[in-house]
Homo-oligomer: A and B are copies of this chain.
Amino acid sequence: MSLMIFLFMCAENVLSLHIPNFCPHCGSDRIISKVPQGDERMRAVCKDCHTIHYENPKVVVACVVRDTELRYILGKRSIEPRIQTWGFPQGFMELNETTRDCAARETIEEIGIVIDPSKLSLLAIYNLPKQVQIVYEAKIDSQSAEKHAQSTKECSEINLFHIDNLPPENEIAFPTVIWALHHAHHRRDISHVQQRTKLYDGKTWKVITDDDIIENA
């Protein structure tokens, strides 16, 4: 490994570790980052009560909704981040719900469409910085899609798009939306699950690595 890459990885690790101001266990303000004994990674550790504050990736669940005319339903976000851009229903998974339930909840909340969690098909798993995104696919009939495609609390506008007529890339909320729509459109085998890792600089959306792996391709 080159020194440059090693230094970049160290900087990346230190930058990405969140150090709380105060220890949630004992209230001390003496939290440091160190590698605890028997561990191999930097952690936030309280110097007073020695509690290790682990930080792990969060689960985001998303849903690609397609109608019988092969149109995809996207919402124009009226909430941050990426307000006023087009996205699919997605959000952080809550305690006491399942990934399927989370997909169905986000779908009703964001684009007003009721879907049956048991009918969802697993579409993709995307690894992003500090986040694992699990994407499901739902199919609904065109009449339902048109009837329910109206604004919600979280989206000022809902619209149906053919794959070759999507909004311009800079008006799409996140790269994962584009990946998932194209994967949904092109997978022939319903059970072909895409797994992809892209790490990007959140400000410029520049892709810095791409070790795309197509499951069972």
A binding-site residues for B, Cβ under 8 Å: 12-13, 16-17, 20-27, 29, 41, 53-59, 92-96, 98-100, 118, 121-122, 125, 127, 129-130, 132, 134, 189-193, 195, 197, 211, 213, 215-216
Q: How many copies does the complex hold?
A: 2
> Given A12-B96, A57-B93, are A122 and B215 also a contact pair (CB < 8 Å)?
yes
Of A27, A41, A190, the most chain B CB neighbours within 10 A belong to: A27
Tell me which residues across on chain B come within 8 A of A94, comparing CB atoms. Answer: 41, 56-57
CB distance from A194 to the nearest CB of B (A): 10
| Majority-rule SS of A interface residues | loop
B191, A216: Cβ atoms closer than 8 Å: yes
Cβ-neighbour of A92 out of B13, B20, B54, B130 (below 8 A): B54
A13 touching B54, Cβ below 8 Å? no
Interface centre among A29, A57, A191 (most CB of B within 10 A): A57
19 extra interchain contacts, Cβ-Cβ under 8 A, other than A27-B29, A41-B94, A54-B92? A13-B95, A17-B95, A20-B24, A21-B26, A24-B24, A27-B27, A55-B95, A56-B92, A57-B59, A57-B94, A95-B130, A99-B132, A100-B195, A118-B213, A122-B215, A132-B132, A132-B134, A190-B216, A191-B215
With beta carbons under 8 angstroms apart, the residue of B17, B96, B134 that contacts A125 is B134
Task: Report Cα–Cα, A128/B61, bound state, in Å.
Answer: 16
Whether A193 pairs with B195 at a CB distance below 8 angstroms is: no
Residue in B closest to A215 when the chains form the complex, CB atoms? B122
> Which residue of chain B lies nearest to A197 when distances are taken between CB atoms in the complex?
B98
Closest 6 CB pairs of A and B: A20-B24, A22-B27, A98-B127, A191-B191, A98-B197, A24-B24
* Alpha-carbon separation in the docked complex, A191 to B12 (Å): 34
